[in-house]
Structure 1
Amino acid sequence: MQASGLTLWDWDVVNDRIAWTPALRALTGLEAQRFDGSRAGLLKLAHPDDRPRLSAALDRALTGPQELGIEYRIVRPDGAVRWVAEHGHVLRDAHGRALRMIGTLADVTRRRHTEDALREVRVSAAEDERRRIGHELHDTFGQHLSLMLLQLSTLRRQVEQQPAAHPHLAQIDRLYRTAHELDEALDQVELQLRPPALGELGLEAALIHTANAWTADSGIPIALHDAGLQDLRLPPLMETTVYRVVQEALANVRRHARAQRVVLNIERDDEELRVSIADDGRGFEQAVAAAAPARSRHLGLVGMRERAALVAGALEIQSEPGHGVTVTLRIPLDGPPVH
């Protein structure tokens, strides 16, 4: 078992005693005499920010049908932080009361760091591509549209000086309005591809900016509520994920919902970050959408779920015809936010 990297443990739940083994000592760096063998002692091994999650996972395993399965950080006596994966099976008496829990503990630090690095690379590459496309749009289409507007203005002045050509003024004006609308639409696309406030000012400022701009452009008011996020910074990958999911959800509202109002809620506690975007629009039948992958792609649900998975998160969709749509993003928190 040790050769596979797994360490066995045995918890006498009734007497609250966890058997200590040399393998556990090697993993945690803690001598047996410094561990009292209790649940409280186990929780002390965990990183302070992960203790609530670990405690809740133990409670669920002891009281519910599911087994223990969680990854969290431990802090060794020398201050080194290690990621561990813990799995446990509960043995119960005839009445269903928990008697013992037997499980394994494995050091997964290398794997977690590799996964984190890969996620960072994937998101960074995607954001770099968005910025490249944004610059390309600005430097090519943007310049062409600006030149077109300038030429149309010049053409209009020339036509005004020729009374015989006045019947063409209306057509020139229509072309000018169309080009101007395209220019404004291009500005919005560039803004979505390259959000200026996210990297500089943080998630809260970027979401406020986006909500205000979206409301001004769509005419649909957004009520923004954030609890526990004010002036706090989250890891860049997490902030980017939240921003892009909100962005895509709002795009769906504008394209499909026929909504009169949107509510954006952001909540943070010790275990997770929850972001929900709810509208009061026409909604849709979830079973029908699930059976039609093309529709899911059309709604951007696949992309949002993929983004959530990059930060070990989950995306939930709740909807029914006539009662709007609620998109909820849940991201587990591995550590404290940065001020």
Structure 2
Amino acid sequence: MAKKEPILDAKFAQSLVDIIAAELNKNVNIVDEDGIIIASFSPERIGKLHEAAALHLTGSLAEEFSVSEADEKKWPGVRSGFNVAIRYRNRRAGFIGVTGQPETAAPYARLAARFVAAALEANERQQLLLKTLREKKELQSSLLNQIIRVQEEERRKISRELHDETSQSLTSIIMGLRLLAEQMPEEAWREKVLAMREVAAGTLDAVHRLAVELRPLLLDDLGLAPALQRYAETYAKQYGINVQLDVSEVAGCRFLPEIETALYRIVQEALTNIAKHAEASQVWICIGKKQRRLYCRVQDDGKGFERTILNKAVDGRPCLGIHGMQERVELLQGEFEIISQPGGGTTVWVEVPARKR
């Protein structure tokens, strides 16, 4: 027959003994279902067999019993006092004993037994709550991960459609307008057609930027390092901010798609925040490897900010971009930190497990 799983954990039982003994100012001990003392105010008793308790646990249904001075002589190691069964889930989980004269120790022992039973129930509820919270967090992470995957897939589809269809159509229009301008006999009409061509060319550039913002083809085709190099070049031209990018340690390396996507989006969000808020002239980006982990650092020489602002809304809006970065890192079981101070610039630090394709 399989042995029942013990209810009383020794460490938990000892913490209860310490509390009860301090309150009652008496010696207290707890025995398990086999009559072994697992917690005691007297450390030397722990691990010894309480013969009287073992006898009652195996040979009777008694809920409580006393130990007299005569019993002390009969059973070595047993001290006079009063012992009460610890009831939990309709089982005797063991006995709790309070030493002293049985008549005076009895009410204390009964009170201590009720306290231990209540503590066991409270501990079970707490463990159940923690388990529920873990399951809820795991479900939340799973759903969030799925949402991100769907978003990235939709971004990829739209980006390819913009690149393959819309860009080609605009390119054909630009070429057609150029040919049409060359065939115009009047200079005024030729200038109008060329002006329309410039508008179409500007639209094509905007479509290219939008396609890259949505999902760069380089990220899927060549990986993180080339995609960041292209994005850094475009960013520097668009905002006039000097960007120094170091991806030498990961050049030619391919990692799991979720890792590459997360790091790319984090760098993208960090650079967007720098352009909007930092008033920086210089940005340093470094992606590297440290043992079995990838790290990413984005640093600027901007005006910085007080860290308390992360818990507040900016211009009436919460810092959703920063929370989004943090959520992406948590999904990868990584570490995320923002270091900043007024006038001292800002550094975004990310470290995640480096799982390769």
SS in structure 2 of the partner of residue 300 of structure 1 = helix
* Aligned positions of 1:92-111 closer than 5 A: none
Alignment match, 2:269: 248
User: How many percent identity over aligned positions?
Assistant: 31
Give unpaired runs (5+ residues) of structure 1.
11-103
CA displacement 1:123-164 (0-9 Å, x = unmatched): 3212211112213333564355335424533453354x12xx
Cα 1:173/1:117, change in 2 over 3 Å: same
Alignment match, 2:40: none
Cα 1:195/1:170, change in 2 over 3 Å: same
- Which gives a bigger RCO, structure 1 or 2 (Cα 8 Å, sep 6+)? 1
Cα 1:133/1:230, change in 2 over 3 Å: closer
- The number of aligned residues is 235
CA displacement 1:63-98 (0-9 Å, x = unmatched): xxxxxxxxxxxxxxxxxxxxxxxxxxxxxxxxxxxx
Q: d(CA) in 1 for partners of 2:343 and 2:196?
A: 39
Q: d(CA) in 1 for partners of 2:344 and 2:175?
A: 47
Cα 1:187/1:8, change in 2 over 3 Å: farther
Alignment match, 1:238: 259
SS in structure 2 of the partner of residue 234 of structure 1 = coil
Preserved CA contact (<8 Å) 1:262 1:279 = yes
CA displacement 1:177-219 (0-9 Å, x = unmatched): 2321221121122233333333443333433343344445555
SS in structure 1 of the partner of residue 356 of structure 2 = coil
Cα 1:323/1:171, change in 2 over 3 Å: farther
Alignment match, 1:338: 356
Q: d(CA) in 1 for partners of 2:310 and 2:290?
A: 32
Q: Looking at CA atoms only, which structure, 1 or 2, has the larger radius of gyration?
A: 2
Q: d(CA) in 1 for partners of 2:348 and 2:316?
A: 16
Alignment match, 1:136: 161
Task: Report how far residue 329 of structure 1 moved.
Answer: 2.3
Letter in 1 for 2:260: E
Preserved CA contact (<8 Å) 1:119 1:311 = no
Cα 1:123/1:172, change in 2 over 3 Å: same
Question: Normalising to structure 1: TM-score of the pair?
Answer: 0.53
- Determine whether 1:146 maps to 2:171: yes
Task: Report how far residue 261 of structure 1 moved.
Answer: 1.6
Q: d(CA) in 2 for partners of 1:306 and 1:182?
A: 34
Q: d(CA) in 2 for partners of 1:289 and 1:276?
A: 18
Preserved CA contact (<8 Å) 1:195 1:206 = yes
Preserved CA contact (<8 Å) 2:312 2:318 = no
Give unpaired runs (5+ residues) of structure 2.
12-126
What is the root-mean-square deviation of aligned Cα atoms in Å?
A: 4.4
Alignment match, 1:329: 350
Letter in 2 for 1:129: E
Preserved CA contact (<8 Å) 1:225 1:264 = yes
Task: Report how far residue 245 of structure 1 moved.
Answer: 0.9
Q: d(CA) in 2 for partners of 1:3 and 1:148?
A: 80
Alignment match, 1:277: 298
SS in structure 2 of the partner of residue 338 of structure 1 = coil
Preserved CA contact (<8 Å) 1:296 1:302 = no
Q: d(CA) in 1 for partners of 2:4 and 2:209?
A: 56
